[in-house]
Amino acid sequence: MSDKPVNHATDVWIGVGITALLHLLLFIYPEAFLFIGVSQLVYMLPVIVVTAMVVRKRTGILQGMMLGMGITFLLNVACVGFVFFQFLS
């Protein structure tokens, strides 16, 4: 391995990028976009577990992946809530 120090912020952005790229897999099954907050668990949790076992010292990648998952989930909940609120009123 390289003796070059790893920038934690860069690792976090790499993790967010990995999450965004994995979300592109939903184009294979477009109906999953309606439930992306839940459907991302199907493919993100195994990736996080494998990444945790392989890359032990670079925790920023895991933090970035979980940050991306959280942002996706919150955006999905906000949009679904907005749509349901429009139908109820």
Q: How far is CA 11 from CA 4, 20, 61, 76, 77, in A?
A: 14, 14, 5, 25, 27
The one-letter amino acid at 65? M
- Tell me what percent of the residues of the chain surpass a pLDDT of 90: 49
Q: Domain segments of the chain: what residues?
A: 8-88
Q: What is the pLDDT of residues 40-73, one digit of tens each?
A: 888 899 999 999 999 888 999 999 999 999 999 9
pLDDT above 60 for 1: no
**Residue 14 pLDDT level (bands cut at 50, 70, 90):** very high
